[in-house]
Amino acid sequence: MATIELNASNFQDTVTAEGITLVDCWAAWCGPCRRFGPIFEEVSEAYDDVTFGKLDTEHNQEIAAALDISSIPTVMIFRDGVMVYRSSGAMDKRNLSHLVDETKKLDMDQVRRDIDRQAEPKKTKRF
């Protein structure tokens, strides 16, 4: 599947949809982004069942700010509306493909339980 351009009109619906969505946050002036772009595109062609989107941080500064993007490229992976991975810096084809494969294996019920558990207030001991 080819990559899609993400922007204010489709970002929220794309990352909250069922299934897996990879997001490449990039900018045209960024050298590492330009080197990583073809890798992201090539890996997207190998996965018909995964959505690959590119978010130009220069043209979508409000989204980039809301995502707290401080360095690019930043790759985020969402599954069934839950962000399950985020990392800054370019990666090679093998590592990106491995991330997609591992995301497919996730038990999302367990992921949600883990998120809920982390959100619970910590109990303190009384002395």
pLDDT tens string 6-24: 999 999 999 999 999 999 9
Q: What local confidence, expressed as pLDDT, does residue 121 receive?
A: 75
Domain ranges of the chain: 4-119
Report field, pTM of the whole predicted structure over 0.85:
yes
* Active site residues per annotation: 30, 33
- Cα–Cα distance for residue pair 69/97, rounded to 1 Å: 23
Mean pLDDT, all residues of the chain = 94
Query: Residue 93 above 90 pLDDT?
Result: yes
Q: Sign of the CA dihedral 49, 94, 102, 53?
A: negative
CATH architecture of 4-119: 3-Layer(aba) Sandwich (3.40)
Query: Residue 28 above 80 pLDDT?
Result: yes
